[in-house]
Amino acid sequence: DAGITQSPRYKITETGRQVTLMCHQTWSHSYMFWYRQDLGHGLRLIYYSAAADITDKGEVPDGYVVSRSKTENFPLTLESATRSQTSVYFCASRGTGQGGGEKLFFGSGTQLSVL
Amino acid sequence: GQSLEQPSEVTAVEGAIVQINCTYQTSGFYGLSWYQQHDGGAPTFLSYNALDGLEETGRFSSFLSRSDSYGYLLLQELQMKDSASYFCAVSTMDSNYQLIWGAGTKLIIKP
């Protein structure tokens, strides 16, 4: 089925461990994004990618690494997880909305708890 | 810096009309978007305004005034399923056109 999927849906890990969150989209959208959502902060951009092999930092990139070897995949890695990285993570891709404006399509999210 | 302000919570009655305001302070403004998010769900796109004026999509309308750095989302004929959080987000040239998000407005609908 066409869409954007994230895995896992839930993840519990310990501080200092490496964790990778997966994101896959079937629309061949050029742009893909990783956001984190914490209470009272809305969505904050971690990293984004304009195309395969092109990535750029967002608002809160520290402690995260991304790669995009293929257009459809955009994994996010926490190199050494910390408790402050406990959050809900959303992957998104960009299509075209009405009037030619931006329209983001979001995955279902990954709820990550770092103990 | 760049910032967006929207009310944290709004309460309305089923069948009524409600307006959720969003004011922003940005440089290089490009457009204003609105997203809906139900509890435990993902944000979904509602509307986008790049020019001044009102955009209507069914029961939802969105307005933008670039000179006032202000926009709003108008929801008519409220239904219980409209209970959700609503986020405004701006794209600017300074942010390389990536979205900057408000903290969200929780809409509570009473029967």
pLDDT band at A115 (very low <50, low <70, confident <90, very high): very high
B residues 27..56 contacting A (CB < 8 A)? 31, 33, 35, 41-45, 47-50, 55
Give the residue-averaged pLDDT of A71-97: 92
| DSSP state string for B13-73 | ETTS-EEEEEEEE-SSEEEEEEEEE-TTS--EEEEEESSSEEEEETTEEEEEETTTTEEEE
pLDDT band at A95 (very low <50, low <70, confident <90, very high): low
Query: Considering only alpha carbons, which residue of chain B is nearest residue A41?
Result: B103
Query: Considering only alpha carbons, which residue of chain B is nearest residue A42?
Result: B103
Does residue A98 surpass a pLDDT of 50?
no
A45 vs B98: CB contact, 8 Å cut-off?
yes
- Note the pLDDT tens digit of each residue in A10-61: 999 999 999 999 999 998 888 899 999 997 678 999 999 988 999 999 989 9
All residue ranges of chain B with pLDDT < 50 are: none
pLDDT band at A99 (very low <50, low <70, confident <90, very high): very low
Q: What is the pLDDT of residue B6?
A: 96
Kindly provide the residue ranges of all beta strands, DSSP E only, lying in chain A, ordered along the sequence: 4-7, 10-13, 19-25, 32-38, 42-51, 54-57, 64-66, 76-78, 87-96, 102-106, 110-114
